[in-house]
Amino acid sequence: MKKTIIALLSVAAFASSCKDAGKGEGNVLLQTFETPLGAPPFERIRLADYKPAFEEGIRRHEEEIRAIAENADEPTFENTIAAYDRSGELLGRVSGIFFNLQSANTSEEMLALAMEISPMVTAHSDAARMNEKLFARVKALYDRRSELGLDSLEMRTLELYYRDFVRGGANLSKEDKAELAEINKELAGLSLRFGNNLLSETNAFALTVEREEDLAGLPEPLRMAAAAEAERRGLKGKWVFTTQSPSVFPFLQYADNRALREKIYKGYTARGNNGNANDNKEIVDRMVNLRLRKARLLGYETYAAYVTDANMAKTPEAVFGFLGRVWKPALEVAKRELAEMQAIADREGLGDKLKAWDWWYYAEKLRKEKYDLDENEMKPYLRLENVREGMFHVANQLYGVTLKRRTDVPVYYPGVEVYEVDDADGTLLGLLYMDYFTRESKGGGAWMTEFRSYTERDGKAEVPLVSLVYNISPAPEGEPVLLSWDNTETMFHEFGHALHGFFTRGKYRRIAGTIPRDMVELPSQVMENWASEPEVLRTYARHYETGEPMPDEMIAKIQESGHFNQGFATVEFIAAALLDMEWHSITAEGKFDVEAFEREFAGKYGLMEEIAPRYRTTYFSHIFDGGYAAGYYVYLWAEVLDADTFNAFKSSGDIFNRELAERFRKHVLAEGGYADAMEQYVKFRGETPSEEALLEKRGLK
């Protein structure tokens, strides 16, 4: 996931001891960073520095906006659009550091500070978009854009900024602007509370196992990790499993104890829905109502219509149609998968119908039966360091880039690694931070973000500082970190986002790397394809003890099992995407019972009771705390593009075809924001993609 930094609302004040601190010369955030490539000097930044830095950043940006808006000269592209594009440098720098750390390495104090800072940022952002004098200059240019002699990039930048202002409320009446600002302010705060509640819920649940016989079926590395977690909690001699993905899903996959599988599954799927202080149901109800009200103010029937209007899909109907065309065959395949697993359970004497918490367990049995493939046999070949070098190798073969470790760059947490990224000709592309392991201070999932984006100023480029954040279980001290196949694909996925960040180009920030939400997952998802290619596996999948490459028989099994369990995977994903769209397609405000809404949703689409949406409402952080509202569908939409893209490489006979790679880099990764997204894709591919490649890739045809 490519994470968007969102301004968040405050509902609580930060500790008074920080109120007056961080001002003046001692605030490193207000100084030039005397570090390699101007990287953030994390070890010198005090929590008390942030609020004064935000205040100063906002003050400077307000001055810049005022100068543009009140310029006595006639508006020109340079004195209005380009000037606005250049503005807000300090605020952007401080935001890029604070909000990224608030996701990757937070604390109660930082969360409280976010609650204080976010309304300032939200209000400032709204004030800029609703500035009447500034918008009048932008509109004057937009209305006579055909007469200005602009080149294609200037025209694109002007048109996008005009659209941003309109979608931000610039055309509204004074009263409606005030209402929209209040809505945005409250939404930001609710989003922050949703995320904080989810983090608390995830950290609060623990399945403590006291008897070794209850560990039957679990692989030794998982047992060791659970023992280490128990010892960390002062429970030496026991085993603790959590609702963090690297713990809960392997437990569901391997634990023979069905009652414990049920317990951890219900703990995972009940997050945010426990009727306690961290319950998210009221927050969801309020957010969907506010989003509808916002959409209506801006002239849209639903919030989904508002969102999709700026995406490739254009309309909610196009999204529902697309998801529906894949949903039907996926559901049929999932039902066949269930029947095969039920047959195994019956042979083993289960004496019951399979439940949702049984799916991973019996799917693993089915995998072994059909393909003689045990994921635990794969793990010794998937040492973290080797997988990392494997994806670096792919980038080198495709684009000629090289990555080398830097130990002189400050990091925000012990164990975070930094790599210098250089182009084929030796040109510096930027720095890559890699944050691998789970911890209580980190949000769930995996994402790419940037402490600094690519920027051109005065003819010089400022290289990006890209961060990849994972949630991989650390190994016990002295043991290697061995990855699951899912972890391996996630490593490649987020690295694809990173390459997008490094290759981005554009004289204007508004078009540099800016592609629609439903195309933004293309650069990441396409990278996953290389992870499983035999030619690539042979370079990085090596046994952590012997160094021997993964046997050809195992590689062949991985290829043969490529369509395995894809009915389940597709159904649980589309169920979540449809749930998202349904929440944001409501047409009337009201009081929503979240559980009743989900039951009605499941009945409407015929969702199997053995499969829950990948994310249920109360822990669906993508849409309530992550910028993907009415947009979770984008992963599958982008998979149409990524399947078509990789098919081009496969069809060429060379998965490292440099000519194709350079075209993809130029038209999608570097210049993706230069024109309409599909237009850019066609420049690379020569034709529009079809859904056939997706259906074939997932084995749904």
The helix/strand/coil state of 48 is helix
Q: How many other CB atoms sit within 10 Å of the CB of residue 476?
A: 12
Phi, psi of 241 (to 5 degrees): -115, 145
Within 356-415, strands assigned E span 402-406
- Torsion angle in degrees (nearest 10) through CA of 121, 126, 127, 131: 150
Backbone angles phi, psi at 312, to 5 degrees: -65, -35
Burial of 235 (0-12, 13-18, 19+ CB in 10 A): middle
Do 278 and 204 form a contact (C-beta atoms < 8 A)?
Answer: yes
In the chain, how long is the greatest CA-to-CA distance? 84
CA angle 357, 360, 362 (to 5 degrees): 95
Q: If you compute the radius of gyration of the chain from its CA atoms, what whole number of angstroms results? A: 25
CA torsion through residues 501, 507, 509, 512, sign: negative
Q: Which of 64, 116, 364, 494 is catalytic?
A: 494
Q: Distance (Å, rounded) from C-alpha 664 to C-alpha 669?
A: 7
**DSSP helix/strand/coil, 434:** strand
Bridge partner list, 482: 383
First to last CA, the chain: 27
Known catalytic residue at 220: no
DSSP letter for each residue of 542-564: B-TTT-PBPPHHHHHHHHHGGGT
Strand-pair partners of 418 = 406, 433
Question: How far is 350 from 344, CA to CA, in rounded Å?
Answer: 9
Strand partners, 420: 404, 431
Burial class (CB in 10 A: 0-12, 13-18, 19+), 677: buried
CA distance 255 to 358: 10
Reading the block at residue 148, the tokens are: 């200005």
What distance in Å separates the CA atoms of residue 512 and residue 100, rounded to the nearest whole number? 20
Parallel, antiparallel or unpaired: strands 455-457 and 460-462: antiparallel
In the DSSP assignment, the letter for residue 367 is H
- At 551, which amino acid appears? P
Cβ atoms of residues 525 and 639 within 8 Å: yes
Three-class SS state of 437: strand
The 3-state DSSP composition of the chain as helix, strand, coil percent (nearest 5) reads 60, 5, 35
Work out whether the CA dihedral 244, 245, 248, 250 comes out positive or negative.
negative
Given the structure tokens 């149901």, which residue do they identify? 281
Look at the block and give the residue holding tokens 């969907």. 288
Q: How many CB atoms lie within 10 A of CB 358?
A: 22
Helix (H, G, I), strand (E, B) or coil at 277: coil
Helices 316-347 and 359-371, packing angle to 10 deg: 70
By annotation, the residues acting in catalysis are 494
